[in-house]
Amino acid sequence: MRERLSAVRTEVAKAVVGQDAAVSGLLVALLCGGHVLMEGVPGVAKTLLVRTLAGALDVGTRRVQFTPDLMPGDITGSMVVDAGGGDLRFREGPLFTQLLLADEINRTPPKTQSALLEAMEEGQVSVDGTSRSLPVPFMVAATQNPVEYEGTYPLPEAQLDRFLLKVVLGVPERAQEMEVLRRHAAGFDPTDVAGAGVRAVAGPADVAAARAAVGRVQVAPEVVGYVVDVARATREAPSLSLGVSPRGATALLRTSRAWAWLNGRDYVTPDDVKALAHATLAHRLGLRPEAELEGTDVAQVLASALASVPVPR
């Protein structure tokens, strides 16, 4: 199981260069049953990464381009009149898939953004008073650009908190960028991941079994206390107006267990907690206005909070 899921990294690398941290984040979220917010400037392979991951996992995937005129029913589905019998029937929206790419989620109004909340939290959608379950596994990989804020709608804190992880895709290093260009010169087509040699090496059954295995990863009381102390340290940070909630602390515990399992261990160490702290917690924090004016960065505050907590031995 672990070998098959680890092989997913190799398959993704056939099409995507230099985004290993993002691939790890997507795998951790998948094992935890969570969702991922991907941030990066245009052209760093956010869409390609999700499409390639779906190909390597043999799961269904759909892409929704979020725009200002997108309505909730456009993603959840709606009741339509059957042309044959004249009866009302439900027409599924793009949410009914296993891996949903929500492209530029911050370009659609809050009304449509909130339509994702029930799906992300409950794994179902409610239309016309009836709840309908989504496929399993189900994961939302939403993208947003850190530039061109004009005409965008920042995600509300309640929805940000429902993303298990936030991964930042940076511009690749020079050698990696040269490899990207070399592949394109050799005929690589980003819309054809199968043509790049990507094949399915794991499936939904492997994901379900891996989730069960992650649930058996042991967490010592000292490590639980460490996670709680990290969360409480953010609430006491003077530069923050919003610290990590108990939901955030629970999320950090879940991602640490998945990371430990992916690394071949059946127990969590403080290093696992540190490795996942920034991706799991940073987007849940809110800076005070005066701290923003001083140029303080959330990552710096979180790093200070982590450094202030004694590491259990």
Give 66-99 pLDDT, tens digit per residue.
Answer: 988 888 889 998 888 877 777 788 888 899 999 9
What is the distance between the alpha carbons of residues 124 and 129, in angstroms, rounded to a whole number? 12
Query: What pLDDT score does 151 carry?
Result: 67
Please give the average per-residue pLDDT across 250-259, as a whole number.
96
CA-atom Rg of the chain in angstroms? 20
Query: What pLDDT score does 128 carry?
Result: 78
Average pLDDT of the chain? 89
Going by pLDDT thresholds of 50, 70 and 90, the confidence category of residue 148 is low
Please give the average per-residue pLDDT across 204-214, as a whole number.
93
Percent of the chain with pLDDT over 90: 49
Please give the average per-residue pLDDT across 181-195, as a whole number.
89
Please give the average per-residue pLDDT across 275-291, as a whole number.
92
Q: Which residues of 67-79 are buried (b: 16+ CB within 10 A; e: fewer)?
A: eeebebebbbbee
Query: What pLDDT score does 150 carry?
Result: 67
Comparing CA positions, the residue from 215, 188, 60 lying closest to residue 134 is: 60
Please give the average per-residue pLDDT across 169-179, as a whole number.
91
Comparing CA positions, the residue from 228, 207, 215, 206 lying closest to residue 266 is: 215
177, pLDDT greater than 70: yes
Please give the average per-residue pLDDT across 100-122, as a whole number.
85
> Token pair 């370009």 is at which residue?
107
Q: Which two tokens stand for residue 294?
A: 């001083």
157, pLDDT greater than 80: no
